[in-house]
């Protein structure tokens, strides 16, 4: 019997030295065990049979080995079944599906993994779910900004659909914030969208802005623009503001807490009524909000990730009719009633 166990050990050790797999070495041991059991069944008493030991002992050893093998195989099968569940869990900051989604960002040297993490950790508030807000919201969601708030008190009208690409014909009559939220969630289920169906006043704006890292203003009336600028400057929140009319648009990043001018530094006084007509009064080329809104989203991504040079301290003016773009430097005004005290 000792000789048989020595044979088992020799097969295992020599097979390992020769590079045989565990399964192959185990198979050879099973063959030896089967030969021993067969010999005990067919050989007469005495002689070789006596040296092999008791048949019952070999059967017990075989049963124990079979149970062990079955247990290991069952455990392996359970692990294989559990693999999809493990893959669905977050890997560090991102799930596997998110890594695939944001791969083109992660490949960019200026964004990479750290920049994508900053996008996911960011909270951005978009004011206005209209012409400018449409591309802004879609691209921020696509880029993986973790929390996107959108403020608007209006509902979707058929006249909006010429340029407000986030909305659909089926959504006519629906609050714009909910229509926009549906589109963003459909585009990227990994971002959190917070719709606010309301008109902002100074008090409610202050409470809301405090929850966010960056404010994007795409509204179409000057009272709201000046109010948003005042509140953002007071709270030290960077503000990306865009505006469009007919064929022309403009955009800048206002961050007086970090040395740039605010919106009122550049535009000290509200234009007289009728001097700057709204889109509803003067019209607007359909792709223009997409051009300016996309640049607003790009500026947000750069600001949040630290990539490149933003429009902080610069004003971009785009003339779509003649395909001309100018960027001019803008400076804080010491006598600005909104941010003058920050630069004194």
154: its two tokens:
């209006």
pLDDT in tens, 118-155: 999 999 999 999 999 999 999 999 999 999 999 999 99
Give residue 58's pLDDT.
Answer: 56
Boundary residue ending a domain (81, 110, 127): 81
Give residue 341's pLDDT.
Answer: 83
Quick one: 100 and 223 in the same domain? yes
- CA distance to 132, 164, 170, 316, per residue, from 286 (Å): 11, 8, 20, 20
Q: Which residues of the chain have pLDDT under 50?
A: 11, 82-92
Asked whether residue 88 is domain-assigned, the answer is no
- Domain with residue 204: its CATH number is 3.40.50.720
Asked whether residue 90 is domain-assigned, the answer is no
Asked whether residue 91 is domain-assigned, the answer is no
67 burial type by CB count under 10 A (0-12 exposed, 13-18 middle, 19+ buried) = exposed
Boundary residue ending a domain (57, 81, 105): 81
Give residue 83's pLDDT.
Answer: 47
Beta strands in the chain, from DSSP E residues, in sequence order: 123-127, 147-151, 192-196, 214-217, 239-245, 248-254, 314-319, 324-329
In this structure, are residues 188 and 138 in contact, taking their beta carbons and an 8 Å threshold?
no
- CA distance to 85, 182, 279, 340, per residue, from 282 (Å): 56, 30, 5, 34
Give residue 282's pLDDT.
Answer: 82
Domain with 76, as residue range(s), is 1-81
In this structure, are residues 152 and 176 in contact, taking their beta carbons and an 8 Å threshold?
yes
Boundary residue ending a domain (47, 81, 115): 81
For residue 127, the cross-strand partners are 151, 217
Give residue 86's pLDDT.
Answer: 39
Quick one: 57 and 109 in the same domain? no
Give residue 13's pLDDT.
Answer: 61
Give residue 3's pLDDT.
Answer: 57
Asked whether residue 86 is domain-assigned, the answer is no
């Amino acid at each position: 019997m000792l000789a048989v166990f020595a044979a088992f050990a020799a097969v295992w050790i020599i097979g390992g030295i020769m590079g045989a797999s565990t399964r192959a070495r185990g198979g050879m041991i099973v063959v030896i065990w089967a030969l021993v059991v067969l010999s005990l069944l067919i050989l007469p008493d005495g002689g070789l049979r006596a040296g092999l030991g008791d048949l019952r002992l070999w059967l017990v050893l075989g049963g124990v080995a079979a149970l062990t093998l079955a247990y290991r195989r069952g455990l392996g099968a359970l692990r294989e079944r559990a693999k999809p569940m493990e893959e669905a869990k977050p890997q560090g900051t991102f799930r596997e599906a998110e890594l695939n989604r944001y791969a083109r960002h992660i490949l960019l040297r200026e964004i990479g993994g750290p920049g994508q993490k900053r996008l996911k950790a960011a909270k951005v508030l978009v004011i206005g779910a209209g012409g400018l807000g449409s591309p802004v919201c879609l691209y921020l969601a696509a880029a993986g900004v973790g929390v996107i708030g959108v403020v608007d008190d209006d509902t979707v009208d058929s006249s909006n659909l010429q340029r407000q690409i986030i909305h659909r014909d089926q959504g006519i009559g629906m609050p714009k914030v909910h229509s926009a939220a549906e589109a963003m969630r459909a585009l990227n289920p990994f971002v959190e969208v917070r719709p606010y169906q309301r008109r902002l006043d100074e008090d409610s704006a202050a409470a809301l802005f405090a929850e966010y890292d960056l404010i994007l203003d795409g509204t179409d009336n000057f009272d709201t623009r000046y109010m948003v600028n005042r509140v953002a400057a007071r709270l030290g929140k960077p503000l990306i503001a865009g505006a469009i009319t007919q064929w022309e648009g403009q955009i800048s990043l206002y961050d007086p807490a970090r040395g740039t001018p605010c919106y009122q530094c550049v535009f000290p006084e509200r234009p007289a009524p009728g001097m700057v007509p709204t889109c509803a009064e003067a019209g607007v080329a359909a792709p223009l909000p997409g051009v300016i809104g996309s640049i607003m989203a790009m500026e947000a991504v750069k600001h949040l990730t630290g990539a490149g040079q933003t429009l902080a301290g610069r004003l971009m003016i785009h003339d779509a009719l003649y395909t001309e773009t100018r960027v001019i430097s803008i400076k804080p005004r010491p006598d600005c009633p909104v941010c003058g005290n920050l630069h004194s």
